[in-house]
A and B are shown apart, each in its own frame.
Chain A
Amino acid sequence: MQPVNVCDFCLSPLEVSYDYKTLAKALSREKLAQGPLTMWRYRDMLPVEGKEVDIGAGFTPLVKADNLGRELGLDRLYIKNDCLNPTYSFKDRPVSVAVTKAREFGFGTVACASTGNLAASVAAHAAKANMKAYVFVPSNVEPGKLVGTAIYDPVLVKVDGSYDDVNRLCNRLAERYNWGFININLRPYYAEGSKTLGYEVAEQLGWRAPDCVVAPAASGLLFTRIWKGLDEFSMLGLIEPVNTHMYLAQAAGSSPIVNAFQAGSLHVHPVEPDTIAKSIAIGNPADGYYALMVARQSGGGACAVTDEEAVAGMKLLAQTEGIFAEAVGGVVVGALRKLAASGSIKRNQLTVAFITGAGPKTQEIVADVVRPVTIQPTLESFEEVLSVPA
């Protein structure tokens, strides 16, 4: 295997392929269930040979969301809470595979361009692997996000320019330096890590696929890999054939895949992103076409959510299920609400919503929830202001 990501001939993205026949003989539910309580319990289905760079990503809780379900009219709603990863987003899954692979290929340095979640995860895994990390961020990234990355001591490079400038620069750097660029030359391996979300959900549901999935899409990679994870499990005979309807959620201010879905088009036309859900603000998604195909062919759909609806979704999720997600989670809950209301997702369908990143990194978005009552440090004052019956 080599660190390349596009086909020389047609310039399309490359994928890792496996020998499923041999794998099917070696794997069983019982064997998998004995593995470690991390994503590495599925090591046999990941493209690695050497020792994994593992900071504990994966095997996050799948919780039955009865309160939120009641609110939305869904009787069998589950939440895959992937906020509970070591660096607080699902990115630890793909990055754990990519950095493992980088070490196998002999790279001494890993790099990425990111507005937050990816950067933190790459820096943390590089620290664990004793590798050098270069992390490129646009100059307008919020200070709160920078701390979550800088703490792992990467070379943090703030690029004085627009989002497009950073994009262009990093493409050039990837050609010039012999680094493992997480989402460029390591991308096919990076992509595979997110399959574990599909595997885990199937295992946690008692070895079955959900009826419906709602998941966010930026580049579209995560969405396609959840599907691939479910599909592989059935190919390996671990679950029944998959009949899951896959719904993708995007922020209305950056929804090129939803636009294409609604227009019935095969081509995802790039857009200029403008949304508070910055971690999914990708205007020209590399896997947009493939995500579109998964949504279509699975009999699913695509749904866009405004910033106001996303903020309402964040609050609803926190106030019904006790989960403080970042704006992306709000987008997913907003989409779930619309899909349930329109009848696309039926009340009795077993539905899993993927919550992929934690809220505390971007608390500014919901700072208006802080409305404390102020009192004097006396019993009288408390009772006067709050009038709670004793």
Chain B
Amino acid sequence: MAKRQVMFTFPAELIKEPIIYNLGHKFKVVTNIRRADVTENRGWVVLELEGEEADIEQGIAWVTNKGVRVDPVIGDIVEG
């Protein structure tokens, strides 16, 4: 089993969709929310995904395809 810590950023049109719920149901991935801030037109969620490496990858690809931006929770690490 692997764990991945990520940040999802949702555009306005996806705020009302149960994306995280669906992620947990469509893929064998456990979603564990740690921090979040969602307003009417924007939202972000910091969460940990747990599952097999391949399932996590497929889950992230599906979420990205939906229009959610997925970033590592520790930010960009390629520094100047």
Contacts and interface: CB of A to CB of B under 8 A. Distances in A.
Whether both chains belong to one complex is answered with: yes
A284 B76 contact: yes
Contact of B76 (A9, A112, A219): A219
B79 A112 contact: yes
B37 interface: yes
A12 interface: yes
A171 interface: yes
Interface string A317-335: 0000000000010000000
Contacts, number: 91
Given A267-B42, A286-B74, A218 B34 contact: no
Interface string B34-66: 110100001010101000000000000000000
Interface string A137-171: 01000000000000000000000000100111011
Interface of A: 5-6, 9-13, 91, 112-118, 136, 138, 163, 166-168, 170-171, 183-184, 187, 218-219, 266-267, 269-270, 278-288, 328, 357
Interface of B: 5, 9, 34-35, 37, 42, 44, 46, 48, 69, 71-80
Q: 7 closest Cβ contacts across the A-B interface?
A: A279-B80, A286-B75, A113-B78, A118-B79, A284-B76, A282-B76, A11-B34
28 contacts: A5-B74, A6-B73, A6-B74, A9-B34, A11-B5, A11-B48, A12-B35, A113-B77, A113-B79, A114-B78, A116-B80, A117-B79, A166-B78, A167-B72, A167-B76, A167-B78, A170-B77, A171-B77, A184-B74, A187-B74, A267-B42, A267-B44, A279-B79, A282-B80, A284-B71, A284-B76, A286-B74, A286-B77
